[in-house]
Amino acid sequence: MVSMIADASAAILAGGTGTRLGGAAKAFLEIEGRSILARQLEVLRPLFAEVLIIANDPVPYSELGLRVVPDRFPGRGAPGGVHAALEAVSSFGWVFCVACDMPFLQASPIALLAAHRGQGVDAVMPIRRGYYEPLFAFYARTLAAPFGKALSVGAPSLVRLLDAASTVRVSEEEYTRADPGGRSLENVNTPEDLARASPRAPRDQPRR
């Protein structure tokens, strides 16, 4: 069982469209009758007191009862979405940011990342198959100002922004112990990804 993460919000980054999926909103793609967004909320709502949607068009999300926040820097992709989430949070010092195309979130790896936060830490993200995963990561709210400054003059990548911050990178070995199959990090970018997706529900349900 995983306890609620009381000092953080969660933000689902839903600003982009699936160009390789015919322009579909990836959050609403269905896997065996359930949208990716519904699957994500099933895990995130018990873990976090506040869940935000980062999207420039609030209409598709109007019935969810969640706050929808637009990008301050439209067209900047994921870095703009993370920055919008950081600026939107007022009650918590941290935001867990996740891409809207990851249908198999689990509580245990999220809790693992949360445990690595601490004094002087700006962000926590895992390494998987040799790659950083900045769209399944915790960000300190104090990053809002430096991210905003960087975005105001250019279009830096998230990895570049995190290289300039005090970022904890959780090793693949440690991460895999919490998410043995790496399911939480799987995403849906293509029709082939969608066809391969299967409804493996997370087994570790958080408690309040």
Rg over alpha carbons for the chain, rounded to the nearest Å, is: 16
pLDDT band at 32 (very low <50, low <70, confident <90, very high): confident
Torsion of CA 119, 123, 129, 131, to 10 degrees: -130
Q: What is the mean pLDDT of residues 70-94?
A: 93
CATH of domain 8-194: 3.90.550.10
The tokens describing 161, both together, are 């922004």
pLDDT at 21 over 90: no
For residue 107, the model assigns a pLDDT of 98
CA 166 to chain centre: 19
pLDDT band at 91 (very low <50, low <70, confident <90, very high): confident
Per the DSSP assignment, residues forming a β-bridge with 9 are 95
pLDDT at 204 over 60: no
Segments of 32-152 assigned E as strands = 34-35, 51-54, 67-69, 94-99, 123-128, 131-132, 136-140
